[in-house]
Amino acid sequence: MFQNVGEMLVLFFRTLAALPLAWRQRQKVADQFFEIGNASLLMVCILSFFIGSVIALQTGPLLVEHGLASYVGGVVGYSICRELAPVMMAILIAGRIGSSMAAEIGSMRVYQEIDALRTMNINPIHYLVLPRLIALSAALPLLVIFAILVGWLGGAFVCVANTRIEISFAAFLSALRDVVEISDVANGVFKSFVFAVIIGVVSCHQGLITRGGPRGIGRSVTKAVVNSIVLIVIFDYLLTRALQK
């Protein structure tokens, strides 16, 4: 375990040191960025809409019963932007994109394509890890911003349509504006950036240490997803403590 953590830290700092070379890999960064967006946007839309809907459905009737109907929009908006959107989107990306990264790099490792890159004097970190980490670090925060907006829309839809709540769209938005500040959205976006780095480093590391053929690739994919989710939850707690108002 500690060896893997050390190896991931080394990989992260070696990738960080290669950032000045990112311009040479701009096409690969763009390709990875659009691949992440195309693969994830629809799922992000569906998941975030129903997350907002469920939060409104769970909290709305309770708040209305206690005479706190004016707080429904604020509760939904605050919980989505600071916690649910960044964490749920990070878990989704870990499962969808992180597994893909681990599988791609793991296949290249097993079938000696990475050795071929080294033979051609191409650094695998510069060619494989750096573009994926940059693209993921840019794409996930943008997806989270989109998820926050769609989640708010889902919550507003339930508040308007549910007879046990019956809050107008204007009242929902007014409560949301009163409670949610720009710093709350920035908090969620910053969390998502950290989570993107975690997913990228963990997934690429698992791909680079893959051994043992197709079965080894499967193990690396599983470890990449599980380890990413565990670290996301741990860092979510640490960041929440550090960023508390």
- The answer to the question of residue 122 being in a domain is yes
| pLDDT tens for each residue of 162-186 | 777 778 888 888 888 888 889 899 9
User: In 3D, which of 144, 125, 119 has the Cα closest to residue 195?
Assistant: 144
- The answer to the question of residue 27 being in a domain is no
Helix (H) or strand (E) holding 122: none
Average pLDDT, rounded, for the chain: 88
- The answer to the question of residue 145 being in a domain is yes
User: In 3D, which of 208, 226, 227, 230 has the Cα closest to residue 217?
Assistant: 208
For residue 235, give the amino acid letter.
Answer: F
**According to the model, what pLDDT value does residue 201 have?**
93
- The answer to the question of residue 204 being in a domain is yes
- The answer to the question of residue 28 being in a domain is no
CA distances 40 to 114, 127, 136, 140, 163, Å, are 27, 23, 12, 10, 33
**Whole-angstrom Cα distance, residue 200 to residue 133?**
5
**pLDDT-derived band of residue 154, with 50, 70 and 90 as boundaries?**
very high
**According to the model, what pLDDT value does residue 170 have?**
87
Expressed in percent and rounded to 5, the helix, strand and coil fractions of the chain are 90, 0, 10
- The answer to the question of residue 222 being in a domain is yes
**Whole-angstrom Cα distance, residue 154 to residue 149?**
9
Contact 236, 243 (CB under 8 A): no
Q: By residue range, what is the domain housing residue 167?
A: 41-237
For residue 34, give the amino acid letter.
Answer: F
Contact 32, 131 (CB under 8 A): yes
**Whole-angstrom Cα distance, residue 11 to residue 101?**
15
**According to the model, what pLDDT value does residue 1 have?**
64
> Token digits for 48?
């975030």
**According to the model, what pLDDT value does residue 245 have?**
60
Kindly report the length of the chain. 245
**According to the model, what pLDDT value does residue 161 have?**
84
- The answer to the question of residue 199 being in a domain is yes
- The answer to the question of residue 3 being in a domain is no
Contact 75, 63 (CB under 8 A): yes
Specify the pTM. Answer: 0.91
Contact 47, 72 (CB under 8 A): no
What is 59-105 written as a DSSP string? HHHHHHHTT-GGGHHHHHHHHIIIIIHHHHHHHHHIIIIIHHHHHHH
| pLDDT tens for each residue of 113-140 | 888 888 888 888 888 889 999 999 999 9
List the single range of 90-94, 117-121, 197-201 with lowest mean pLDDT: 117-121
| Domains in the chain, number | 1
| pLDDT tens for each residue of 11-70 | 888 888 888 887 887 888 888 898 888 888 889 999 999 999 999 888 888 887 877 777
For residue 187, give the amino acid letter.
Answer: N
What sign does the dihedral 161-166-168-171 (CA atoms) show? negative
Rg of the chain in Å (alpha carbons):
20
